[in-house]
Structure 1
Amino acid sequence: MYKIDIDNTIAQQPFDGLQIEKLAKTESMEILSISLAKDAIFPKHTSPKDAHLVVLEGSIDFHIENQSVTLLPQQHFGFSKEVEHWVRALSDAKFLIIR
């Protein structure tokens, strides 16, 4: 029988500044769960791989190359590796980074 292992990391992740949890990692990909409290900032950084951001709840402003885009629940945004970016939470927000 196949063992099903349910993980509640996302649901249990608090809204307390910036919280980052690694949900999964293989040789070819990684999934991170990010929680940002309202007005918290994920400071400027780059990704080592091309990445996709999927908003689960709340809203964020994603800043990249002198542009800003507001993302809402169930919206998706892809961006290239090694491009500096940062994120600000407009409300308590949770999103996934898949890279």
Structure 2
Amino acid sequence: MIDIDNTIAQQPFDGLQVEQLVKTNALEILSISLAKNAVFPKHTSPKDAHLIVLEGSIDFYIENQSVTLLPQQHFGFSKEVEHWVKALADAKFLIIR
């Protein structure tokens, strides 16, 4: 059976929104939406992770550096490293860990 999910398309730009799309013992995929100028506060990841920007643009702050990411760009980062994100425009991105 095919199961189509529209969570990402329907996720609003209202501050910070986090939706868990997949969760298994080996994999977690989160869909994050950030309204323009909204912030995903400082935190760490329990696993090495990958961020893929779907739309909009973000600044990703890690290890005293800022990386601007645009649609279709990918960024990998290590577990337990403090980081935070600010939306430069309404943005949606995936976290895969």
Q: What TM-score do the two structures reach when normalised by structure 2? A: 1.00
Structure 1 runs of 4+ off > 2 angstroms? none
**Which residue is equivalent to 2:96?**
98
Partner secondary structure for residue 53 of structure 1? strand
Deviation track 1:36-73 (CA, whole Å, cap 9, x = no partner) reads: 00000000000000000000000000000000000000
Q: What fraction of aligned residue pairs are identical, expressed as a percent?
A: 87
**Which residue is equivalent to 2:12?**
14
Matched, 1:89 2:87: yes
Paired amino acid for 1:22: Q
User: In the aligned structure 2, how far is the partner of 1:70 from the partner of 1:4?
Assistant: 36
**Which residue is equivalent to 1:77?**
75
Map 1:22-41 onto structure 2 (within 5 A).
Answer: 22-41=20-39
Q: What TM-score do the two structures reach when normalised by structure 1? A: 0.98
User: In the aligned structure 2, how far is the partner of 1:29 from the partner of 1:47?
Assistant: 13
Structure 2 gaps of 5+ residues are: none
